[in-house]
Structure 1
């Protein structure tokens, strides 16, 4: 999973860096609120359960909106979709900072999630289409941006949150406005598809077994992931800046292993075995947090260490989705995002209810079990993943992913009858 020999992975067109920067800022939104969760609860007289809705509204709206992004992008174009999504984030992040109640922030986070969906579902396709170094190199760039955003989000959230809980929201609004301007100036319009994407395309795409398997696996993984993000800050009992540095260390490991550890493991063991190991270890770390929630240092060490396996999982899963899905990349991204963000949205809300009814230990234990169930689900898609690995290796790892996806679909039952994928491939 590396760039072609002689090519510099980071020698890219300016448009790629503009979108990558926007990706960094967009993914800041995931961990941005972590360091200020206790402060929000205190300053706005809210319970941890109410504060967890910041994740739920953001991610559930992101999930549902994913179903419409392909339909929109195929009609107004990828660049216009990116710009619209970025504009939504700027406006709703600023409104969240101006809000004076937890309900208001939760509502504005929902609008933020709408913009996030339009951006996420389109940005990967734009980077893949514009980047040099092939498909694998584009995935590495995308995951590096994701990792940097997730790492920087808590740090910026902690530093600005130490001044005021409003600071992180205004900070993202300013940074995203810069990203919006860069996108307008540097990104060239991409050609629209010959046939607009039907509104039903993402749902129909989920009838493809391999894509659905990856989506359900990611849903269960995200259940554990966002349980940790939403509730690990409370037992640490740290101030906003200290929490920011803890999650910054976590995010740095996530970014590093996204671009180094994941490719190495894939080459040595293959995609499926590497994911089995990463997901299982992640479940163990969450379980340890659940069993030793009262020990601050145990929680801190496990949270930081989880960045290693989260980085590996994110890169390998993103590549796998694109390789085993015989649909256009924006459709695959939207369908996959819809399923996985449901897990991320529901987990913090469910965790809050578990804490209210039982104690802080329970949601982490449940999260660990969910991730292990995800491993079991993933095993049902082992053969298509192995076939995709073999096809990429046979093509010296620079094979067109569309060709790989077609070969995998042909070998393992083909695509759903409801979609004429051969016709769609002809239109690419």
Structure 2
């Protein structure tokens, strides 16, 4: 059963969605498209680095667990930085917060391209995480706030940008990485300069009235977590991200492919992620409900991780599982992001910051843990442990179902 404030909140969000649902997904203001294209380039940065993880280990004489720290430092800084994104964006404004994030990413990725040691690279990836936090959290709230087609369609557009960026990134990363592991880092810096120019020119200085928010404080995300629904989704996402980043950061080490091969595998992964997040997730939510669909996707993802753990030495099984995981993760990302935006009666940017803080903690712990488990035990254990965490996230959502069921009253199928 929903609480009284949540019931009023659901009614308010339903009215808001009803007033905007006539506008099509592609009928957006120029500012939304500016953020959309900048987001594609920003998320290309994540996929660009993935195909070169084994090459970095070889050429910098680093262990697999040390190389996975590139994801750990990145996600750990992102988690903490998410708590200050609202404070910064409500003072600098949406446009300048996005541009600041892009500049920070460009600087730290360029410095990474010129570094000569794994620990220097790990530290610089942390700086990259700070820039990404400013950009990612603000981009989501910007697209949702500036869109004229409602929250559901705006989030689908945002997830499409993520999918496009993540799918194209590995292909470019594999091509650049085949020349040198430094190539993708310098490639990210170049792309960020292009994103900066595009956003600077296309996004207007003035902010529409519906995007103007009161100044927030550092305590707002923690206050938001007092809402049980938001806390449930945040903890569930932290557990689920353990599996997500085990796949992303550790799977490249067991596939036995070169940079080009890894690029093509993660291209397939990203394409499925993009397509399902836009076209399939809304239908699943409409047919079965957001919570039930989310739990189903997570269970299937856990089973894929188990398969990767059982048949780790069978190359085609691991490759097929990684690609298929893209479909499950694309659906789940859209479902859970929309659920978070509709979970509690707080500012969407504050909800995003609180939720992202928790989920990136999971993303920070998982990569290094996966590398260490493989070194201590064997290459199969990280996938089995990751599957266990994903299943725990499903149980956690199901046990707290009464606190989150109200998100189905708003839905995703607009």
TM-score (norm 1): 0.89
Q: Which residue of 1 aligns with 2:216?
A: 197
Q: In the alignment, is residue 212 of structure 1 matched against residue 220 of structure 2?
A: no
Q: Which residue of 2 aligns with 1:403?
A: none
Q: Which residue of 2 aligns with 1:75?
A: 91
Partner of 1:232, secondary structure, is helix
Q: Which residue of 2 aligns with 1:359?
A: 378
Q: Which residue of 2 aligns with 1:87?
A: 103
Are the structure 2 counterparts of residues 136 and 344 from structure 1 closer, same or farther at C-alpha, using a change threshold of 3 Å?
A: same
State the Cα deviation string for residues 159-196 of structure 1 (Å, max 9, x = none): 11111111111111111111111111221242685641
Does the Cα contact within 8 Å between 2:50 and 2:249 map onto a contact in 1? yes
Note the residue ranges of structure 1 that are not aligned, 5 or more in a row. Answer: 399-428
Q: In the alignment, is residue 110 of structure 1 matched against residue 129 of structure 2?
A: no
Residues in 2 aligned to 1:353 and 1:184: alpha-carbon distance in whole angstroms: 43
Does the Cα contact within 8 Å between 1:161 and 1:240 map onto a contact in 2? yes
Residues in 1 aligned to 2:289 and 2:150: alpha-carbon distance in whole angstroms: 20
Note the residue ranges of structure 2 that are not aligned, 5 or more in a row. Answer: 1-16
Does the Cα contact within 8 Å between 1:12 and 1:131 map onto a contact in 2? yes
Does the Cα contact within 8 Å between 1:258 and 1:314 map onto a contact in 2? yes
Residues in 1 aligned to 2:385 and 2:117: alpha-carbon distance in whole angstroms: 30
Q: In the alignment, is residue 350 of structure 1 matched against residue 366 of structure 2?
A: no
Does the Cα contact within 8 Å between 1:3 and 1:137 map onto a contact in 2? no
Match of 2:267 among 241, 248, 255: 248
Q: Which residue of 1 aligns with 2:332?
A: 313
Partner of 1:9, secondary structure, is coil
Q: Which residue of 2 aligns with 1:98?
A: 114
Q: In the alignment, is residue 150 of structure 1 matched against residue 169 of structure 2?
A: no
Are the structure 2 counterparts of residues 4 and 77 from structure 1 closer, same or farther at C-alpha, using a change threshold of 3 Å?
A: closer
Deviation at 1:245, TM superposition (A): 0.2
Deviation at 1:6, TM superposition (A): 6.4
Match of 2:399 among 361, 380, 400: 380
Does the Cα contact within 8 Å between 2:29 and 2:147 map onto a contact in 1? yes
Residues in 1 aligned to 2:399 and 2:93: alpha-carbon distance in whole angstroms: 36
Structure 1 residues 381-390 or 113-122, which shifts more? 381-390
Deviation at 1:94, TM superposition (A): 0.8
Q: Which residue of 2 aligns with 1:401?
A: none
Q: In the alignment, is residue 303 of structure 1 matched against residue 322 of structure 2?
A: yes
Are the structure 2 counterparts of residues 331 and 7 from structure 1 closer, same or farther at C-alpha, using a change threshold of 3 Å?
A: closer
1:25-36 alignment runs, 5 A limit: 25-36=41-52
Partner of 1:11, secondary structure, is coil
State the Cα deviation string for residues 337-380 of structure 1 (Å, max 9, x = none): 10000101110111111112111111110000000000011113
Match of 2:191 among 168, 175, 196: 175
Q: Which residue of 2 aligns with 1:24?
A: 40
Deviation at 1:5, TM superposition (A): 7.2
Residues in 2 aligned to 1:52 and 1:325: alpha-carbon distance in whole angstroms: 34
Q: Which residue of 2 aligns with 1:187?
A: 203
Q: Which residue of 2 aligns with 1:323?
A: 342
Q: Which residue of 2 aligns with 1:291?
A: 310
Residues in 2 aligned to 1:368 and 1:114: alpha-carbon distance in whole angstroms: 29
TM-score (norm 2): 0.92
Does the Cα contact within 8 Å between 1:258 and 1:312 map onto a contact in 2? yes
Deviation at 1:7, TM superposition (A): 4.0
Partner of 1:260, secondary structure, is helix
Q: Which residue of 1 aligns with 2:4?
A: none
Q: Which residue of 2 aligns with 1:406?
A: none
Residues in 1 aligned to 2:280 and 2:228: alpha-carbon distance in whole angstroms: 28
Partner of 2:370, secondary structure, is helix
Aligned length: 395
Residues in 2 aligned to 1:201 and 1:3: alpha-carbon distance in whole angstroms: 28
Q: Could you say what the CA RMSD is over the residues aligned between the two structures, in angstroms? A: 1.8
Residues in 1 aligned to 2:309 and 2:128: alpha-carbon distance in whole angstroms: 31
Q: Which residue of 1 aligns with 2:78?
A: 62
Does the Cα contact within 8 Å between 2:27 and 2:149 map onto a contact in 1? no
Match of 1:275 among 274, 291, 294: 294
Are the structure 2 counterparts of residues 370 and 291 from structure 1 closer, same or farther at C-alpha, using a change threshold of 3 Å?
A: same
Q: Which residue of 2 aligns with 1:135?
A: 151
Q: In the alignment, is residue 159 of structure 1 matched against residue 175 of structure 2?
A: yes
Q: Which residue of 2 aligns with 1:426?
A: none
1:224-235 alignment runs, 5 A limit: 224-235=243-254
Are the structure 2 counterparts of residues 51 and 129 from structure 1 closer, same or farther at C-alpha, using a change threshold of 3 Å?
A: same
Does the Cα contact within 8 Å between 2:22 and 2:149 map onto a contact in 1? no
